[in-house]
Amino acid sequence: MRKYTISILGLALIFCAPSPASQSKAPDPSWDLLKKIVLIPGLSSQEGKVSDFIQSTLPASLKVERDAKANVWFTVGEGHPHLLFVAHSDELGFVIDKITPQGTALLRARGGLLAQTCEARPFVIYTAKGPVDGIIQPRPDYYQSQSSTRAQGQNPTQGQSGAGQNPAPSSPPNPAQKPAPTPVRPQAAPEAFELYFGVSSEQEARALGVAEGNQVIFKKKLVDLAPDIMATRAVDDRAGCAALLAAALQLDWTKVSGKAITFAWDVEEEIGLVGAQALSKILKPDYVFAVDTFVSTDSPLENKRFGNAILGRGAVLRAIDSSNIIPKTEIRKIAELAKKYAIPLQIYNSRGGNDGSVFVPEGAVDIPLSWPGTSAHSFIEKIVKSDLEALTKLIAVIVEDWK
């Protein structure tokens, strides 16, 4: 009898729970959208194709605007409060700075990647003639550290620096032995990187279509750590773009009244919030919700002193970062909304800036919304599906229920 009472109470709770459009039974498309949008090349200042994708995915009923920089946005409703949600569409990478007489290309960095992780890796160059495969050359002396390891009794191995060359160990191998400490390996500046295409002259490189200004993006692959866990480059901030797109697709925009809602996908965040600055001249929101990565320390090489939002435990309210502090009243408001709609939410502080901070001097309150992401600004930015879905729901309920 007690069992039946609990069941009936449970059913009653389900029917009494708020049921905004964001809680619709339609599957959340954010994960699938992310898998598509993350693969589109869109280096800072060359985001056109990402913007095209966003525009073509948005419902036709929305009046979408686009500026010369490829910022994309739409506004529904009017009056106040005016809520702006913004995710950035650009990603990190390089541009071709100069083509050498030897047919390689020198690079200029767009945003910060750890230099050593770029060496000896495949990249794609987006030229007027189409994508071209290239590799960032390893530093010229990469193999010279061999001599220091040979003295440690390392294995003679096939093809070390020549055909089956034998480093002539003085003792049998000891697999447990650590390699000799790596000799001083100065941090390579991206400007020292050279891109190799397989050619040996400038003329040949140009014949491939390679030219100064081409964007150079890491050859991306989706690493499926589980059906609902993925790692790849540019999750920052294509996950934010996907969450915003998914919310735009799920919301019933005809029900927005007594406030104005703007969704924006802006450019050039990684090189100094440039797109957001352009938008701030047009849009004057009361609240801006920057939708971007929460730099989580839920990773074995990080200090857990702060930022320890756990992957798989829901969306994150980025309460304090390097560019903004959310007022406590607004933190409580978001926390209450999340509780009301049973959205898992973590509240932490971490590092990094966000586009919303640009609007604060103009009078807006900046409330960055996130998912917990590890290894930010790497080739293996990791994300969990349920966190992205929680973020999408949070965006939707704020649109519907913000007073």
Partner 1 sequence: MKKRMIQSILAILFLLFAGAGYSTAQDIKSVVKELFPILSSTGNEDALAAKIEQSLPKNAAKEKDPMGNLYVRFGKGEPRLAVLAALDEFGYIVSGMTQDGYLRLDRAVQPPHSQYDSYLLGHPVMISTSKGPLQGIVAQPAMHLLTRERRDELAKNFSLDLVFLDIGARSEEEARAKGVEILDAVTFWPDLSELANERWAGHALGLKTGCALLLNLAVEMSGMKLSREASLGWMAQTKFPVRGSRSALGAMRAKKKLQPQKVLILDVVAADRDEKSPALGKGPVLVQAKEEASKLKDAIDTIAREKNIPLQYQTGVESTLMNPFLGDTTEVLTLALPVKFLNTPVEVVDFKDVRALKDLILSVIGSGRAK
Q: Among residue numbers 252 through 271, which ones bind partner 1 (CB under 8 A)?
A: none
Query: Which pair of tokens denotes residue 347?
Result: 């509240």
- Please select the residue that binds partner 1; options are 3, 130, 226, 363, rule is CB under 8 A: 226
Amino acid identity of 66?
R
Based on the shown chain and the rule CB under 8 A, indicate whether residue 121 belongs to the binding site for partner 1.
yes
- Residues within window 123-152 making contact with partner 1, judged by CB under 8 A: 132-135, 137-138, 142-146, 148-149, 152
Q: Please, which residue, 3 or 305, has the CB nearer to partner 1?
A: 305
Q: Which stretch binds partner 1 (CB under 8 A): 7-15, 219-227, 255-263, 274-282?
A: 219-227
379 counts as binding partner 1 under rule CB under 8 A: yes
Q: Which is nearer to partner 1, 57 or 299 (CB)?
A: 299
Rule CB under 8 A: choose which of 44, 51, 346, 375 binds partner 1.
375
Among 130, 300, 361, 363, binds partner 1 (CB under 8 A): 300
Name the segment binding partner 1 (CB under 8 A); options: 24-32, 53-61, 259-267, 371-379.
Answer: 371-379
Cβ–Cβ under 8 Å, residues 195 and 125:
yes
CB of residue 275 to partner 1, shortest distance in Å: 20
Site for partner 1 in 149-188 (CB under 8 A): 149, 152, 154-166, 168-169, 172-173, 175-187
With CB under 8 A as the contact rule, the residue among 12, 13, 17, 225 that binds partner 1 is: 225
Binding-residue total with partner 1 (CB under 8 A)? 90
We find the least distance from the C-beta atom of residue 348 to partner 1, in angstroms, to be: 13
The whole-angstrom separation of Cα 242 and Cα 232 is 15
- Cβ distance to partner 1 smaller for residue 57 or 152: 152
Which residue, 82 or 220, is less far from partner 1 as judged by CB? 220
The yes or no reply on residue 386 touching partner 1 (CB under 8 A) is no
Spatial separation of the C-alpha atoms in residues 65 and 86, rounded to whole Å: 14
- Do 395 and 37 meet the contact criterion of CB atoms below 8 Å apart? no
Q: Is 257 left (phi over 0), alpha (psi -120 to 50) or beta?
A: beta
327-356 residues in contact with partner 1 (CB under 8 A) are 350-352
Beta pairing partners, 94: 109, 216
- Sign of the four-CA dihedral 342, 295, 90, 81: positive
Tell me: does residue 224 bind partner 1 (CB under 8 A): yes
Q: What is the spatial distance between Cα 61 and Cα 59, in angstroms, rounded to a whole number? A: 5
Do residues 322 and 352 lie in contact, with contact meaning Cβ atoms separated by under 8 Å?
yes
| Closest distance to partner 1 from the beta carbon of 122 (Å) | 4
Is position 215 an interface residue for partner 1 (rule: CB under 8 A)? no
Q: Closest distance between partner 1 and the C-beta of residue 324, in Å?
A: 14
User: Taking a C-beta distance cutoff of 8 angstroms, is the pair 140, 171 a contact?
Assistant: no
With CB under 8 A as the contact rule, the residue among 238, 377, 385, 393 that binds partner 1 is: 377
Q: Does 231 bind partner 1 (CB under 8 A)?
A: yes
Residue 122 CB partners (closer than 8 Å, separation 6+)? 133, 134, 135, 218, 219
Candidate list 52, 65, 302, 330; residue touching partner 1; CB under 8 A: 302
Identify whether the C-beta of residue 103 lies closer than 8 Å to the C-beta of residue 201: yes
Beta carbon of residue 159, minimum distance to partner 1 (angstroms, whole number) = 4
197 binds partner 1, rule: CB under 8 A? yes
Angle value at C-alpha 200, between 198 and 206, nearest 5 degrees: 85
11 token code pair: 């059913």
Distance CA 95, CA 216 (A): 6
Cβ-based nearer residue to partner 1, 109 or 326: 109
Residue 102 binding partner 1, by CB under 8 A: no
Least distance in angstroms from the C-beta of 213 to partner 1: 20
Task: Kindly state the smallest distance separating residue 44's Cβ from partner 1, in Å.
Answer: 15
Pick the closest to residue 20 from 309, 233, 256, 281 (CA basis). 256
- Sequence-separated contacts (24+) of 59-62 with Cβ below 8 Å: 59/248, 59/249, 59/253, 61/253, 62/248, 62/253
Rule CB under 8 A: is residue 27 a binding residue for partner 1? no
Q: Of the candidates 117, 127, 277, 349, which one interacts with partner 1 according to CB under 8 A?
A: 117
Alpha carbon separation from 5 to 11, 17, 298 (Å, rounded) = 10, 18, 41
Which two tokens mark 147?
Answer: 């001599």
